[in-house]
Amino acid sequence: MQVNIDTPSALRRKLTIEVEPDEIKRELDRSYNELKRSVVLKGFRPGHAPQKLLERFFGDQVRGDVIQKLVKDYTKKALEENNLTPMVEPEIQTEETDLSKALRFSATFDVRPEIVVKDYQGLKVQQPRIEVRDEEVEQALQALRERHATLKAVAGRTRVERGDYVIAEIEGYSANEPIPGTKIEQRLLPVSDKLLAHGLDEVLAGAEAGTPISKHRNYGADYTSKELAGKDVEWRATVKEIFTRQLPELDDEFAKDLGEFADLKELREKLRTDLLESARQRAEARVRQGLLDLVIERNPIEVPDSMVELELKSSEAELAATFEQGGMPHEEAHARAAENRQELRTRAEKRARSWLIIDALASQEGVEVSDEEVADRVAKIVTSSARDRDRAAKFYREQENLAALKVSMRREKTLDVLLSRAQVEAEPPAETAADA
């Protein structure tokens, strides 16, 4: 094996690796011998088919498998021999794949920057005030009421109004031809611009139950849904039934129906306690982030591009998932997330820089997380997962997920160390209009 190392930038490495013909032949012979033992060809006893015949029938498949295996094995070997650890999986590009001559390919990747964190002792940061106003408790109570609303069929009205829920069928047409992916059959739909995509709330609002309707909508060339972009769409719909949401009365019976409260007063107290705990967690998170921001400011570092890209992909996927949970179609959700790519990149770069600083600080302080600590955390997660307990248990049986949890817990511990060495001051009370 011949290895040439280029350094395009301070953190970038490019290994050009060439595998010698003898090494290639050895791997090809091994692959064909394995194939010979398993394949059955007419006219030959098992294990006795000549290699020339195997090459004729299975040559492309074997060569592909051999190239894949050699690239993986020799990339790993080259990295170990040169004491290099990529931040993310190397980008592989093949240059010579004629195995009768040689196999030559390149592996390009970023390495972790060498970081010595300085000036992180005795940092000063303000802790936000932890308080819950009566209005917040009432808002939480109203939200709980909304979640327990029921649908009731409308009586005495046949025309759809905004805020209704309807069982309807709907489909989009362009030039009198149905548009693939737009058909909705007998589904419960909210007549709301916040919950229904493509302006379908405007199509359904005012419709008469049982009477087919047709409305046109124009979509610009840059519209997020590629099926609708640049088209004048005729939406054809029929509303079958109309429902309204009925909110339960806010009384002692409502609190009792939730299963664990004696009356409405006790429910309010529980909501206030939960809100205080959430406020405490947010305040602590802001303190930690404030400390980390100060450390980052005092320790400027270069962030590997590949790490930023990895964080960016994760952020885009998270945002798209949020859109989908809100009822947005899959493709539109991902297109909408891509529109926010520049803002997400800024966040991704900050997150990547944060992880590098925290990991470097963890190494300096000797912070470690034991397997027992990880097992305890997994047990708590699974126990608190209620209906999703089996799914959570299955998730953490995967070694890569356990490893990711261990990394996360190590970072938490490191921030605890940072916090223990900081000077945390209470945030002054907000200035009131009278004070002003």
Dist. CA 340–CA 344, nearest whole Å:
6
Q: Is residue 135 part of a domain?
A: no
Domain with 224 in it: what CATH number?
Answer: 3.10.50.40
Same domain, 38 and 7: yes
pLDDT above 50: residue 434: no
> In this predicted structure, what is the pLDDT of residue 181?
85
Structure tokens of 114? Answer: 């060498």
pLDDT class for 59, splitting at 50, 70, 90?
Answer: confident
Tell me the average pLDDT of the chain.
88
- Above 50 in pLDDT, residue 54? yes
Sole residue written with tokens 């160390």: 417
Average pLDDT value for residue range 239-248: 93
Residue 401 sits in the same domain as residue 293: yes
Same domain? For 263 and 381 the reply is yes
Window from 34-48, 212-226, 239-253 with minimum mean pLDDT? 34-48
Residue 174 reports pLDDT greater than 90: yes
Q: Is residue 71 part of a domain?
A: yes
Radius of gyration of the chain (CA): 31
Residue 47 lies in a domain: yes
Q: Do 164 and 272 lie in a common domain? A: no
- Indicate if 81 and 217 belong to the same structural domain: no
pLDDT at 334: 84
* Residue 45: predicted pLDDT: 66
Q: Residues 268, 229: one domain?
A: no
Mean pLDDT lowest for which of 43-52, 103-112, 284-293?
43-52
Give the angle 163-336-346 at the CA atoms, nearest 5°. Answer: 125
Average pLDDT over residues 139-155: 91
Widest distance between CA atoms in the chain: 100
Instruction: Evaluate whether 288 touches 412 at the Cβ level (below 8 Å).
Output: no
Same domain (yes/no): 242, 259: no
pLDDT score, position 26: 86
**Rounded mean pLDDT, 45-64:** 75
Q: CA–CA distance from 238 to each of 182, 185, 206, 364, 435 (Å)?
A: 14, 10, 12, 67, 60
- Which range of residues forms the domain containing residue 328? 255-426
Token match 């900050």: residue? 350
For the chain, percent of residues with pLDDT exceeding 70:
96
Predicted confidence at residue 345, as pLDDT, reads 92
Q: Who contacts 119 (Cβ-Cβ below 8 Å, separation ≥6)?
A: 295, 298, 299
pLDDT value for 30: 85
In this prediction, residues 24-47 reach a mean pLDDT of 76
Looking up residue 21, the CATH number of its domain turns out to be: 3.30.70.1050
Strand order in the sheet with 12-19: 2-6, 12-19, 103-110, 91-96
In this structure, the strands spanning 150-153 and 165-174 are: unpaired
Residue 88 to residue 310: CA distance in whole angstroms: 8
Count of domains for the chain: 3
Please tell me which residue, 385 or 138, carries the higher pLDDT value.
138
Nearest CA-CA partner of 132 in 278, 270, 276: 276
In a domain, 262, yes or no: yes
234, 273: one domain: no
Q: Looking at residues 430-434, what average pLDDT do you find?
A: 52
- Final residue belonging to a domain, choices 92, 110, 128: 110
Those residues with Cβ within 8 angstroms of residue 87's Cβ, 6 or more apart along the chain or in another chain = 109, 110, 111, 112, 304, 306, 307
Q: Are residues 185 and 301 in the same domain?
A: no
pLDDT of amino acid 222: 84
Residue 179 and residue 58 share a domain: no
Q: Which residues touch 137 (CB under 8 Å, ≥6 apart)?
A: 268, 271, 272, 275
Using the 3D structure, point to which of 246, 278, 308 is the last residue of a domain. 246
Nearest CA to 233 among 242, 245, 243, 223? Answer: 223
Using a pLDDT cut of 90, give the percent of the chain over it: 51
Mean pLDDT, residues 169-190: 91
139, part of any domain = no
pLDDT at position 430, please?
Answer: 63
Is residue 218 one of the residues assigned to a domain?
yes
pLDDT confidence bin for 211, thresholds 50/70/90: very high
Domain membership of residue 331 (yes or no) is yes
- Residue 1: per-residue pLDDT: 80
Q: What is the mean pLDDT of residues 371-398?
A: 90
Q: What is the pTM of this model?
A: 0.68
Residue 37 above 80 pLDDT?
no
Q: Which residue has the higher pLDDT, 44 or 170?
A: 170
Quick check: 414 pLDDT over 90? Answer: yes
Q: At 433, is the pLDDT very low, low, confident or very high (cuts 50, 70, 90)?
A: very low
Q: Which residue has the higher pLDDT, 387 or 168?
A: 168
Segment 130-134 mean pLDDT: 92
Residue 160 lies in a domain: yes
Q: What are the CA-CA distances from residue 234 to residues 90, 171, 231 (Å)?
A: 49, 8, 9
Residue 43 predicted with pLDDT over 70: no
End of a domain among 191, 218, 246?
246
| Overall average pLDDT of the 150-176 stretch | 93
Between 14 and 41, the more confident residue is 14
CATH number at residue 306: 1.10.3120.10
Task: Single out the residue of 283, 282, 280 nearest to residue 126, CA to CA.
Answer: 283
Residue 145, φ and ψ in degrees, nearest 5: -60, -40
What CA–CA distance (Å, rounded) separates 92 from 76?
12
* Poorest-pLDDT segment among 45-54, 160-169, 380-389: 45-54
Q: Are residues 98 and 30 in the same domain?
A: yes
268, 408: one domain: yes
Q: For residue 431, what pLDDT is reported? A: 58
Record the tokens describing residue 344, joined without a space.
């997400």
Mean pLDDT of 376-399: 89
Mean local confidence (pLDDT), 389-406: 91
Using CA atoms, how far apart are residues 408 and 410, in angstroms rounded to an integer?
5
**18 strand-pairing partners:** 2, 104
Going by pLDDT thresholds of 50, 70 and 90, the confidence category of residue 223 is confident
